[in-house]
Chains A and B, each alone.
Chain A
Amino acid sequence: MIPENHRPQAAEGYSHTRRAFHLAVIYVLGAIIGLAMAIPTAIYLLIPPKPRKPSGFIDAGDVSQLTPGEPVELTFQQSRLDGWKLVTEKKTAWVVKELDNKVVAFGPQCTHLGCAYHWEASASKFACPCHGSDFSIEGKVLAGPAPRPLDRYLTKIENNRLQIGELKQSNPQA
């Protein structure tokens, strides 16, 4: 740390070897303490807490009246453990009934930087107001910087009611 020529001459009764030994001990013990603090800290901050089981499917409403080709925004309540708190929050999904009567639920955020997009019926596309990403009714990227298609929720239909599960991140190639 301190260049050699800046050091004072060894004082009488304090030999160079002794001094070198002292320096070595200072640096080695200092390094051990540093590591013993740094490693647990990195673990504490970087390793995420044990993952929770996904909370299962949530009822998002009746989908029997949906018109194919006309996406609607459905809201539903979801409970989740946020750190130490169980929070119940309102979530939304863009739900589309496809021509074969299959129902798809898209996550409500643009895959570019997370802005909320909306359905533009006149242009028949999902449009994000932030950076101009457009998505088709199947969720495919039509224009703009979005790196991948819209994310989809796991879904199932029970007695004409849509059950919404986990949001799965879409595959960029899809």
Chain B
Amino acid sequence: MRKKFEKFIGDLDHRTGLHTGLRKFLYEEIPASSGWHQVFGSVALFLILVQFFTGAMLAFNYAPTPGDAYSSLRYILTEVTAGRLMRGLHHWGASMIIVVVVMHMVQVFLWGAYKKPREGTWMVGVVLLLLTLAYGLTGYLLPWDNRAYWGTVVTTQIGATVPIVGPYVSRLLASTGDIGVVTFARFYGLHVLLLPPATLLLIVLHVYLVRRHGVAPVPGDEVRRKKSFFPEQVFKDTVAVFFAFVILFVMAVAVRVPLERMADPTDTSYIPRPEWYFLFLFQMLKVFAGSLEVVGTVLLPTLAILALILTPFIDRSKVVRVRQRTLAAGIVLLAGLGWGGLTLAAIKSTPPQTAASQIDFSGPVQWMQLTPSEMTGINYFRQEHCGNCHNVEGDSPKSGPNLINTSLRHDPAWLTAHFKDPEKVTPGSTMTPVNLSDAGMKDLLALMLKLTPDNGDVVDTAPEFAVAGAVLFQKNNCGACHSVNGMGGKIGPALNGLSSRRNEAWVIEHFQNPKKMSPGTVMPPYKFSTTDMQNEVSYLFTLPAKPTP
């Protein structure tokens, strides 16, 4: 058996040279000094492959056009088994690649491995770093939620400010007017059709150059035993790859990547933020205001990229041990501090995300379709602990009957009588009487009659702030003048779509002083506590743009 296998390998090699090639690749001699500090390149390569794979998997269930992109991603997250994991791997993998690629670069820089004759390897590496950032930029738009849309609006407008080429960049990305279908198609095309083969080609070139010149030695290596790439270094690489994979997998499982509201170009309340690794650039824009803006958007980044590319020509000193490269270490430290400081400042200056913009639309959002009365019913449902004895979803047995489809079995009169004195209406019932005001009873009834198999989970999933906002809405009888989800008066404007008409500050001020904000209004001022105001505004901002039919 073994003889046969070896003959087969021999014959195959005779015809293809595969085996000899593999041996040459694996048994490459590497300097004695090589070791754990050189694992980052392999980890980056592994992560890129994971991105290629998970990206292809996501594409199997993804429609690359605005609108459909959002619903298909929502489908991946809510319907497809392991879809959330697949997206988590792709999302967190992107962030991890940035981290690992930068670590790889820092290592090469500290060790001075870019020096003669390895200038080309370094320069190809810098281009690969830029490609990695390009993936991040183009991939950001693809979920087509508010975050994607508004983030891309800002980046494309920065691109447009570049002197001379700006307008052409805009035309190339089809972002001169609004971000729309054409922009989306360009970003998608770049992300999945152009960037991957370009990356592959450059990786092959990069690895070829590494092999051509060998792993960079340090002084003293020439007198020590050379190591074999396989399995000595491959062992270290594999352990590092495994470590990275475990981190990635745990993040993909444990850290939920939210999906925001579908991209809404009219949403004036949205505060766009770039991905964390672009935050420092974002912060730098604030330093250079007005006519100097181009310094932050174009000049400094261009200089930084040029300095990176030209590093091997700027530093032409002889190779020395890493401990003696104090200047290099100082540069890395400064760059790290600068990056960290800017990023921290950006995070610090970020206004806290509003409750409304933090809702995860890949979770249950049925509650958004409820009227304020039904939402207030949820408040009483929770307050009276109805869920202790009654099911509204699932069918684990509980002492009371399931409340789904109550409207098919009972009318409001029966329910009211039953709530007030359960034993009288339903002999043998052990339910405690529900003590609510007439208005409260009405709200609870509204909820009871609304529950169907499709929306039963609302009693668990409606967020606390939205329920509190609805309670306040009912208490102040806002529905007398305003309609929400098709219910309420017509004296004031309907409140669906409020978030695309006004921002939060405006609404808060309007509550406090309506006459100032809309002269001639009949709305009286409302002095809510800070918490109440926050709940109320957040609740109103979660309402769907149009009432559900």
Contacts and interface: CB of A to CB of B under 8 A. Distances in A.
Interface of A: 2-3, 5-6, 8, 11-14, 19, 22-23, 25-26, 29-30, 32-33, 36-37, 40-41, 43-45, 47, 49-50, 83-85
Given A33-B241, A44-B80, A47-B82, 5 more contacts: A3-B5, A14-B225, A41-B86, A83-B61, A85-B71
Contacts of A44: 57, 80-83, 85-86
A13 to B, nearest CB: 5
Interface in B70-103: 71-72, 74-75, 79-83, 85-86
B464 interface: no
Given A25-B238, A41-B57, A45-B60, A85 B68 contact: yes
B79 A49 contact: yes
Interface string B447-491: 000000000000000000000000000000000000000000000
B532 interface: no
B23 interface: yes
B521 to A, nearest CB: 40
B228 interface: yes
Interface string B247-271: 0010000000000000000000000
A49 B241 CA distance: 32
B75 A3 contact: no
Contact of B72 (A3, A5, A84): A84
A26 B74 CA distance: 38
Contacts of B168: none
Interface of B: 2, 5-6, 9, 19, 22-23, 26-27, 50, 53, 57, 60-61, 63, 68, 71-72, 74-75, 79-83, 85-86, 225-228, 231-232, 234-235, 238-239, 241-242, 245, 249
Nearest to A23: B231
A4 to B, nearest CB: 9
Nearest to A25: B235
A85 B86 CA distance: 21
Contact of A33 (B63, B82, B235, B245): B245
Nearest to B10: A3
Nearest to A83: B75
Contacts of A19: 231-232
Contacts of A37: 50, 53
Q: Which of A5, A25, A26, A36 has the most CB of B within 10 A?
A: A26
Contacts of A43: 81-82
B44 to A, nearest CB: 15
B234 A26 contact: yes
Given A14-B227, A22-B232, A40-B82, A84 B75 contact: yes
Given A22-B235, A83-B75, A84-B68, A36 B81 contact: no
Given A40-B86, A84-B75, A11 B228 contact: yes
A12 B225 contact: yes
Contacts of B241: 29, 33
A32 B225 contact: no
B57 to A, nearest CB: 6
Contacts of A26: 231, 234-235, 238
A172 B27 CA distance: 61
A75 to B, nearest CB: 26
A60 to B, nearest CB: 25
18 contacts: A3-B2, A6-B23, A11-B226, A11-B227, A12-B225, A14-B232, A22-B231, A29-B241, A29-B242, A33-B245, A36-B245, A43-B82, A44-B57, A44-B80, A47-B81, A49-B75, A49-B79, A49-B80
A153 to B, nearest CB: 24
Contacts of A23: 231, 235
Q: Which of A23, A36, A40 has the most CB of B within 10 A?
A: A40
Given A32-B242, A37-B53, A45-B60, A84 B81 contact: no
Q: Which 8 A-B pairs have the closest CB atoms?
A: A84-B75, A22-B235, A49-B79, A44-B82, A84-B71, A47-B81, A29-B242, A22-B231
A32 B246 CA distance: 10
A173 to B, nearest CB: 34
A29 B82 contact: no
Contacts of A29: 238-239, 241-242
A96 to B, nearest CB: 35
Nearest to B231: A22
A41 B55 CA distance: 12
A76 to B, nearest CB: 23
B57 A11 contact: no
B213 to A, nearest CB: 22
Contacts of A33: 241-242, 245
Contacts of A25: 235, 238-239
B106 to A, nearest CB: 25
Contacts of A22: 231-232, 234-235
A44 to B, nearest CB: 4
Contacts of B71: 84-85
A3 to B, nearest CB: 5
A36 B249 contact: yes
Nearest to B80: A49
